């Protein structure tokens, strides 16, 4: 191990130590842990800001379908390694009513910084003591203190420590020509932020893609080579009259192939961004989380991956 790499990993270790010191804030009272329900890790991101416009709170987390919740995000002081909240109101002070078996929070708890998302995650842990709650440090514009991912690969991280990333969202473009149902055509990123299920220009929550696919005028297709699903239909922005809406996304069918690949290659599991993007009913056949839980339930088996999927992890790919 080179001196530079050792320094990088040492820095990560210090940050991880701070995280471990902070994690007891989320710990539940000690209980005997039940037998593992899943053969692989199922890691779902809960985003701090979901409690606002999205209306998704920790009480909505289907904890029995997860092994880990990754809380996004905490920031890190690059000089000291100290973690800190980027929204103390959401993290410690917001008061949630009773919901889904969790008790109502109080204003006294809020005053003591014991309410909010962190207080609620303690309640979730009390009901699901086998669920691991992790603090995701950095992310988006907060990641500058971290070394490149190559540092982990150079250090020889084994496959069982790696989790495949799964999107619970779709990328979208408008004014896309109808040629070949829009595939490989050009367009403009859209619709604009503010459309239902759309929190960022050119991005849809997965549940919204499912809703569109069931709407007259929109049709779901699958690229025969990559087996990636996509949707084509009318533009949603009323002022755009040329072409149509093209959305590429993850579907239960495409996810099933990736889950098989994870099993076949001995990877550690999945992580996905993010919980509020899925359909709300995990028993629905359209639920991506529901499919993950079913595939990785202890004792379950899966078929082999299709040949095209091996390219995902082939050397040099």
Q: Which residue has the higher pLDDT, 169 or 198?
A: 169
Spatial contact of 103 and 95, defined as CB atoms under 8 Å apart:
no
Maximum alpha-carbon separation in the chain: 61
As a whole number, the mean pLDDT across the chain is: 83
Q: Which residue has the higher pLDDT, 292 or 11?
A: 292
Q: How far apart are CA 281 and CA 231, in angstroms?
A: 22
- 111: confidence class by pLDDT, cuts 50, 70, 90: very high
- Tell me which CATH code domain 169-248 carries: 3.10.50.10
Per-domain residue ranges of the chain: 1-167+252-317, 169-248
What does the buried/exposed string (b/e) look like for 182-215 if buried means 16 or more CB atoms within 10 Å of the residue's CB? beebebbebbeeeeebbbeebbbbbbbbbbbbee
Share of the chain above pLDDT 90, in %: 61
Residue 69 clears pLDDT 80, i.e. is over it: yes
Q: Which CATH class is domain 1-167+252-317?
A: alpha beta
Residue 301 clears pLDDT 80, i.e. is over it: no
Here the tokens at position 288 are 């991506």
Spatial contact of 262 and 269, defined as CB atoms under 8 Å apart:
yes
Q: Which residue has the higher pLDDT, 56 or 310?
A: 56
Pick from 33-42, 74-83, 172-181, 214-223: least confident? 33-42
Residue 115 clears pLDDT 90, i.e. is over it: yes
Residue 25 clears pLDDT 80, i.e. is over it: no
Residue 142 clears pLDDT 80, i.e. is over it: no
Q: How far apart are CA 277 and CA 274, in angstroms?
A: 6
Q: Checking DSSP bridges between strand 163-167 and strand 269-273, what pairing results, if any?
A: parallel
Give the pLDDT of residue 145: 66
Give the pLDDT of residue 146: 62
Q: How far apart are CA 220 and CA 240, in angstroms?
A: 21
- Using CA atoms, how far residue 90 sits from 73, 74, 109, 121, 284, in Å, is 11, 12, 13, 12, 30
Q: What is the mean pLDDT of residues 179-194?
A: 89
- 128: confidence class by pLDDT, cuts 50, 70, 90: very high
Residue 108 clears pLDDT 90, i.e. is over it: yes
41 phi and psi, to 5 degrees?
-75, 135
Q: What is the mean pLDDT of residues 175-193?
A: 92
């Amino acid at each position: 191990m080179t001196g530079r790499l050792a320094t990088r990993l040492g820095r990560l270790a210090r940050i991880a130590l701070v995280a471990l010191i902070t994690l007891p804030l989320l710990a539940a009272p000690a209980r005997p842990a039940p037998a593992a329900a899943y053969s692989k890790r199922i890691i779902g991101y809960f985003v701090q800001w979901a409690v606002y416009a999205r209306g998704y709170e920790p009480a909505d987390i289907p904890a029995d379908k997860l092994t880990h919740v990754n809380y996004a995000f905490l920031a890190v002081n690059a000089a000291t390694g100290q973690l800190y909240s980027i929204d103390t109101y959401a993290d410690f002070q917001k008061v949630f009513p009773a919901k889904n078996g969790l008790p109502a929070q109080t204003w006294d708890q809020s005053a003591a910084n014991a309410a909010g998302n962190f207080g609620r995650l303690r309640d979730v842990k009390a009901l699901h003591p086998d669920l691991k709650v992790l603090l995701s440090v950095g992310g988006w514009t907060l990641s500058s203190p971290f070394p490149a991912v190559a540092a982990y690969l150079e250090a020889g991280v084994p496959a069982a420590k790696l989790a495949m990333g799964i999107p619970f969202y779709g990328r979208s473009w408008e004014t896309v020509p109808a040629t070949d149902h829009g595939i490989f055509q050009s367009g403009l990123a859209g619709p604009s932020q503010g459309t239902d299920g759309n929190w960022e220009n050119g991005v849809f929550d997965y549940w919204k893609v499912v809703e569109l696919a069931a709407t007259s005028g929109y049709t779901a297709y699958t690229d025969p080579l990559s087996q990636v699903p996509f949707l084509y239909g009318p533009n949603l922005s009323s002022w755009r009259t040329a072409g149509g809406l093209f959305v590429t996304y993850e579907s239960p069918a495409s996810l099933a192939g990736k889950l098989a690949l994870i099993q076949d290659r001995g990877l550690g599991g999945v992580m996905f961004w993010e919980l509020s993007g899925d359909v709300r009913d995990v028993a629905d056949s359209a639920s991506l989380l529901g499919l993950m839980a079913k595939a990785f339930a202890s004792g379950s088996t899966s078929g082999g991956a299709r040949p095209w999927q091996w390219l995902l992890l082939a050397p040099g790919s």
